[in-house]
């Protein structure tokens, strides 16, 4: 009876990992061979892992990455100019903690989205809060926010992210007003969060894409300074295993 009450109280306190581990210990005939502190350590470890896994699942759900992948899934064999040393530099997420940027460019099908999602997944695994948009969707959200009066709330939400991922930058036509909003996002995030951008267009062409010299200068200054650059090349990987 006492054991059942203990389990019930653990679940009321949302210590689900500890409760599951306690039930497992009750079914193990040799568990009494362990000292009290050893058994307690096992319960605490299970609770810790349960909380970590639950937190990761929540962060990944919030991030809305386009594909579910990880750095372990990356294929370095395809001749697209991706070097393992580049990814090893980013794996520890020091760049996210230091509020730096990462710019990934290359032709369609070279794995930009998978690579961005894998780096975002790694950031979430390390406890960072991320959110992913396609470029066209982000600018639609900004347009909608202007229309319904929620722009300030959206900008505040984006400013608080540890990592903002923007996929397919430059894919759709964008008005000068929307690019000014984009500059405001980057300006709010400078020194506060990291930004990862993928694009079919080389970084050297982004200034021309923005089509407003003053705004373009300001955007490029926020994005390119101290950014990690990954320039992919070669033929599409679409008919191969993602990565």
pLDDT at 237 over 70: no
Q: What is the mean pLDDT of residues 84-92?
A: 93
What string of H, E and C letters represents the secondary structure of 175-231? CHHHHHHHHHHHHHHCCCCEEEEEECCCHHHHHHHHCCHHHHHHHHHHHHCCCEEEE
pLDDT of residue 28: 87
pLDDT of residue 2: 62
pLDDT at 240 over 70: no
pLDDT of residue 46: 87
Per-chain mean pLDDT for the chain: 90
pLDDT at 24 over 90: no
pLDDT of residue 166: 98
Q: CA–CA separation, 33 vs 20, rounded Å? A: 20
Per cent of the chain over pLDDT 90 is 65
Judge contact between 93 and 123, C-beta under 8 A.
yes
Tell me the three state secondary structure of residue 130: strand
pLDDT of residue 31: 82
Q: Nearest Cα to 49, choosing from 20, 27, 79? A: 20
Confidence of residue 242 (pLDDT cuts 50, 70, 90): very low
> pLDDT (tens digit, 9 = 90+) per residue, 145-173?
999 999 999 999 999 999 999 999 999 88
Q: CA–CA separation, 220 vs 206, rounded Å? A: 8
Q: What are phi and psi of 233, to 5 degrees?
A: -150, 180
Tell me the three state secondary structure of residue 66: coil
> pLDDT (tens digit, 9 = 90+) per residue, 46-66?
888 888 889 999 999 999 999
Other Cβ atoms less than 10 A from the Cβ of 165: the count is 27
Length of the chain: 243
User: Which domains can be identified in the chain, with CATH numbers?
Assistant: 2-62 (no CATH), 64-231 (3.40.50.300)
Structure tokens at 59: 């962060």
Q: CA–CA separation, 102 vs 84, rounded Å? A: 15
Of residues 242 and 131, more confidently modeled:
131
pLDDT of residue 243: 46
Greatest mean pLDDT among 18-27, 185-194, 227-236 lies in 185-194
Record the pTM. Answer: 0.83
Confidence of residue 137 (pLDDT cuts 50, 70, 90): very high
């Amino acid at each position: 009876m006492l054991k059942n009450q203990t389990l019930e109280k653990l679940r009321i306190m949302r210590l689900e990992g500890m409760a599951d581990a306690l039930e497992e210990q009750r079914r193990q005939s040799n568990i009494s061979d362990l000292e009290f502190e050893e058994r307690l350590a096992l319960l605490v470890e299970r609770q810790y892992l349960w909380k970590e896994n639950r937190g990761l699942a929540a962060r990944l759900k919030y991030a809305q990455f386009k594909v579910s992948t990880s750095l372990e899934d990356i294929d370095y064999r395809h001749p697209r100019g991706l070097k393992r040393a580049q990814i090893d530099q980013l794996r520890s997420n020091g760049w996210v903690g230091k509020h730096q940027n990462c710019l990934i460019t290359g032709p369609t099908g070279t794995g930009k989205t998978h690579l961005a999602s894998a780096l975002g997944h790694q950031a979430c695994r390390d406890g960072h809060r991320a959110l992913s948009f396609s470029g066209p969707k982000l600018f639609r959200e900004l347009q909608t926010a202007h229309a319904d009066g929620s722009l300030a709330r959206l900008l505040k939400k984006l400013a608080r992210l540890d990592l903002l991922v923007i996929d397919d930058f430059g894919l759709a036509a964008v008005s000068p007003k929307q690019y000014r909003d984009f500059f405001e996002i980057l300006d709010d995030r400078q020194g506060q969060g990291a930004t990862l951008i993928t694009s079919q267009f080389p970084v050297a062409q982004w200034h021309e894409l923005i089509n407003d010299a003053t705004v373009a200068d300001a955007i490029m200054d926020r994005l390119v300074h101290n950014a990690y650059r990954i320039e992919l090349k070669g033929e599409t990987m679409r008919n191969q295993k993602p990565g």
